[in-house]
Amino acid sequence: MNGAWIDTHCHLDASEFDADRAAVRRRAREAGVGLLVLPTVCSGNLAAVQALAHAEGDAYALGLHPLYVGHEPPGALADLRRALQAAAADPRLVAVGEIGLDGFVPGLDWAVQTDYYSAQLRLAAEFDLPVIVHVRRSADALLQQLRRIRVRGGIAHAFNGSERQAMAFVELGFKLGFGGAMTFDRALQIRRLAATLPVQALVLETDAPDIPPHWLYRSAAERAAGARSRNEPAELPRIAAELAQLRGIGLDELARQTGANACAALPRLAGLLADGAVAADS
């Protein structure tokens, strides 16, 4: 199964990987993770993520994350539009993302988040790109905007809503991202959805360095004492094994299906895989 897995959401540019980024990517390849999708989070890392995707033979998305839009400088959306326009013909640009709404973190300005989210949906429509959306206590509000501003589908990242919300995303052409949270026995709702939603609706992701699976989890006390809790894309096959067990299917079948799902959600991935373009650019 060498190169069989696609990690549809990984922040390889994060500072947590500064000391060993190349080794992290090498471990992922050795584990069978052939392709990563690297979303941006702010206007300050658009160019860095784009360059990293080319250097490592991966894909990327350009967008402004809801946790950071309140700190964006004036003109950030114009900068994003210019970056999308400049990269319009780049086969490694697969989506607008990570965008969305966050209703969990206190102190965020919902109106500002909504303005940035709707503006970025319009950019996705303009450039005919899917979107990668951040969903945290915000599914209904995200869906409301998606019904108003139609885009060509995408991925609902780290999905943790209801079955009704899940199927609403699917009806709008979205796949649902499942990762480390699914590995916790107490995550009953997420595990139930992972086991029972149509398999055609699921994609796999790590969100590395975040959302570590249960075998990497450290309590707050352990982290304060210096214990490490960094997630890596190399964990994806083991996360996939949890999903395969929940659904009672084989790993080869799951790799084929989730790979096809990822390509359906982000169509330019299929071109990268077909052209062998996952090799790093020279």
What's the pLDDT score for residue 179? 98
For the chain, list residues with pLDDT below 70.
1-3, 223, 226, 276-280, 282
Q: What CATH number does residue 239 fall under?
A: 3.20.20.140
What's the pLDDT score for residue 225? 73
What's the pLDDT score for residue 20? 98
Answer yes or no: is 280 within a domain. Answer: no
What's the pLDDT score for residue 280? 66
What's the pLDDT score for residue 278? 56
Helices (H), the chain: 21-30, 46-56, 76-86, 110-126, 139-148, 163-171, 188-196, 220-224, 236-247, 251-265, 268-275
Answer yes or no: is 136 within a domain. Answer: yes
Helix (H, G, I), strand (E, B) or coil at 189: helix
What range does the domain containing 157 cover?
Answer: 5-275
- Binding site membership: which residues? 9, 11, 98, 134, 157, 207
What's the pLDDT score for residue 277? 53
Answer yes or no: is 121 within a domain. Answer: yes
- Binding site membership for a divalent metal cation: which residues? 9, 11, 98, 134, 157, 207
What's the pLDDT score for residue 127? 98
Q: Count how many domains the chain has.
A: 1
Percent above pLDDT 90 for the chain: 91
Helix (H, G, I), strand (E, B) or coil at 7: strand
Answer yes or no: is 282 within a domain. Answer: no
183 to each of 72, 224, 239, how far by Cα in Å? Answer: 34, 23, 7
Answer yes or no: is 39 within a domain. Answer: yes
Calculate the average pLDDT of the chain. 95
Find all residues with CB under 8 Å of 269, minimum gap 6, and list them: 6, 35, 37, 59, 94, 262, 263
Answer yes or no: is 281 within a domain. Answer: no
What's the pLDDT score for residue 217? 87
Asked if residue 163 lies in contact with residue 197, where contact means CB atoms within 8 angstroms, the answer is yes
Cα-Cα end-to-end distance for the chain: 26
